[in-house]
């Protein structure tokens, strides 16, 4: 199945070929978000917020073909 992964801010460095941070990833059926992160070699500690199809989610969420996953790092500022 194919998942669209959008990497934001500092997480874009995990994008292999796209300066925009949007990556299409072919993954096995029944994969979770945490398993997707491991497959993409993204450090889970660097991901603060996960969105699946525009809805806040967690790493245990099972993905389906065509899902859109947004990954956000912690945000700092003041």
Each residue's pLDDT expressed in tens, for the chain with a length of 78 residues: 999 999 999 999 988 765 688 999 999 999 999 999 999 999 999 999 999 999 999 999 999 999 999 999 998 776
Res 38: pLDDT: 97
Q: Is domain 2-72 classified as CATH 3.40.50.1820?
A: no
What are the sequence ranges of the domains in the chain?
A: 2-72
Hey, which bits of 1-78 come out as E strands? 2-7, 22-26, 49-52, 55-57, 68-72
**Contact 52/32 with Cβ under 8 angstroms?**
no
Res 78: pLDDT: 66
Is 65 strand, coil or helix?
coil
């Amino acid at each position: 199945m194919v998942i669209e992964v959008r990497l934001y801010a500092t997480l874009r460095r995990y994008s292999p070929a796209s300066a925009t941070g949007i990556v299409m990833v072919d993954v096995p059926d029944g994969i979770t978000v945490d398993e997707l992160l491991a497959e993409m070699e993204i450090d889970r500690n660097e991901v603060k917020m996960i969105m699946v199809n525009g809805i806040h989610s967690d790493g245990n969420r099972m993905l389906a073909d065509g899902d859109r996953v947004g990954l956000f790092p912690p945000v700092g500022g003041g």
